[in-house]
Amino acid sequence: MSPEAVSIVILAVMFIIGTWREVNMGLLGFIAAAGLGILGLGLDLDESLAGFPVDLFSPWSG
């Protein structure tokens, strides 16, 4: 299956888990994106996290 199709399936599963349980959707999205990048696309951790906006994460986390 193509990475695009896998990401749509993961997105649907994220929405189901997010509505069924009280889990932060952003956390699910971060885990899904990192997991798909590392496991599905063969990126290493540094490449997978290179596009993550750290300057926005700091104010959000408190």
pLDDT tens string for the chain (62 positions)? 888 899 999 999 999 998 999 888 888 888 898 888 888 888 888 888 787 777 776 666 65
End-to-end CA distance of the chain: 39
Nearest residue to 7 (alpha-carbon basis) of 39, 38, 25, 32:
32
| Global pTM value | 0.69
Question: Which pLDDT score is estimated for 20?
Answer: 92
Beta-carbon count within 10 A of 18 CB: 16
Question: Which pLDDT score is estimated for 5?
Answer: 93
Question: Which pLDDT score is estimated for 62?
Answer: 56
- At 30, which helix (H) or strand (E)? helix 25-35
Helix 3-20 with 25-35: angle, nearest 10 deg: 150
Question: Which pLDDT score is estimated for 55?
Answer: 73
